[in-house]
Amino acid sequence: MSELINTALLERHNASRLPSLKRDYETLGEQLDRRGIAIESIKRKVAGFGVAIPSWGVGTGGTRFARFPGPGEPRDIFDKLADCAAIQSLTRATRSVSLHIPWDKADPKRLKDTAESYGLRFDAMNSNTFQDHPDDRYSYKFGSLSHTDAATRRQAVDHNIECIEIGKTIGSKALTVWIGDGSNFPGQSNFTRAFERYLSSMREVYEALPEDWRIFTEHKMYEPAFYSTVVQDWGTNYLIAQELGPKAFCLVDLGHHAPNVNIEMIVARLIQFGKLGGFHFNDSKYGDDDLDAGSVDPYRLFLVFNELVDAEHRNAPGFNPAHMLDQSHNVTDPIESLMISATEVVRSYAQALLVDRAALEAHQEANDALMATQTLKSAFRTDVEPILAMARVESGGAADPVAAYRESGYRRKVAEERPAVKGAGGGIV
Ligand SMILES: [Mn+2]
């Protein structure tokens, strides 16, 4: 397989930046030392952190109005895996890919071999019962797992079981279920009966899970249904995880809440009761905008990570969240957006590691609101870029992933190999 990113080019890129990076790293190390923090231990944790790339994220997304594809769009899952591998080779923070069925359906052996040749693994499988599939007999127009018609529910259950079966052959260990089920008009759906039907369908999916698998359910307050959704919020999501059993967990997509909802507090509650499954990271201004992680409200992302690091710090029982990006890139090169987003997620993690937890707890106990909040702000204000860059360079990535990517000419090369496909669908889930 030909090299995706030229090694000699990457070495030149890093060599030209290393002298100043070393100085920045040392200066930051001294600063952190004065705060009682060992920079090397932060760097080790940062180097071990990973976030999964959604296969659908490497293609240009779209809105309800239009999609404007860029050059070299991936034509199939194998092109998508190549793009994911390019991202990983520069960022070293994205070792796994989350597949979407049926969009990524292909020979499982070839999927596994291709991923392995790139050093990638498969994260959670994603089912799709929010659109009709050409070979399916029944339509999901009026719902899937909660549909009033038993045969449609059966088809949706079978599709989810098929996703598990595919996942087993490629080494995945989780299934993420998001449904578009809901209603557009008051009175259209009986809330209780729809949720009963959903739970009954999900119990069948749950039964098909292998012993070492987890199932993640994703709540979303609106869209595509605009009056009600069956799995509308974290409360309903928690009920689902409770009803299904110990392998069921809640997935938090940052964009699936009402504006101003305190997401970090939801995260804390789910951790406390052992039901946080993982994340779909993205950012938003208004709704499920699927903008790049940390692009609009980096402090919110930091506050989410503050809860995660708090849980890590006190060894919260059963704490093992899956980290995935879930974004739609409409005006940027998706590879660049995903590299920046993965870096922003790692940045929030690194900043949260800098919080002086003993001091924070003392301020909380003393009801010193000002000093408590300043303790968080002081960690958030720290520029941890030298730690991230050094961790990347030491693990074979790029000091500056976007600059190295542009220098590599990857997009131009794949644009020559991949003729434009008309009408390829973008995915926003
Ligand atoms: Mn999502």
Specify which residues 182 forms β-bridges with.
229
Residue carrying the six token digits 């003993």? 358
Per-residue model confidence (pLDDT) at position 1: 47
Residue 231 CA to ligand 1 center (angstroms) comes to: 13
Tokens of 184: 């557009």
CA 93 from centroid of its chain's CA atoms: 12
Residue 240 CA to ligand 1 center (angstroms) comes to: 17
Residue 340 CA to ligand 1 center (angstroms) comes to: 18
Residue 211 CA to residue 388 CA, distance in Å, equals 36
Q: What is the DSSP string of 78-144?
A: HHHHHHHHHHHHHHS---EEE-BTTTT---HHHHHHHHHHHT-EE--EE---SS--TT-SS--TT-S
Per-residue model confidence (pLDDT) at position 425: 52
Q: What is the DSSP string of 275-333?
A: -EEEEEE-B-SSSS--BPTTSS-HHHHHHHHHHHHHHHHTT-TT---EEEE----SSS-
Q: Where on the phi/psi map is residue 81: left (φ > 0), alpha (ψ -120 to 50), or beta?
A: alpha
Residue 363 CA to residue 373 CA, distance in Å, equals 9
Number of H helices, E strands in the chain: 15, 11
Return the DSSP state at 429: -
Residue 280 CA to ligand 1 center (angstroms) comes to: 5
Residue 290 CA to ligand 1 center (angstroms) comes to: 9
Residue 98 CA to ligand 1 center (angstroms) comes to: 11
Residue 316 CA to ligand 1 center (angstroms) comes to: 25
pLDDT along the chain (429 residues), means of 10: 87 98 98 98 98 97 93 97 98 98 96 97 98 96 98 98 98 98 98 98 98 98 97 98 98 96 98 98 96 98 98 96 97 98 98 98 98 98 98 98 98 93 54
Angle at 70 between CA 69 and CA 74, to 5 degrees: 85
Residue carrying the six token digits 């359910």? 217
Residue 416 CA to ligand 1 center (angstroms) comes to: 32
Residue 100 CA to ligand 1 center (angstroms) comes to: 11
Residue 324 CA to ligand 1 center (angstroms) comes to: 9
Surface-to-core class of residue 424, CB atoms within 10 Å of its CB (0-12 exposed, 13-18 middle, 19+ buried): middle
Residue 360 CA to ligand 1 center (angstroms) comes to: 32
Residue 218 CA to ligand 1 center (angstroms) comes to: 7
pTM strictly above 0.85:
yes
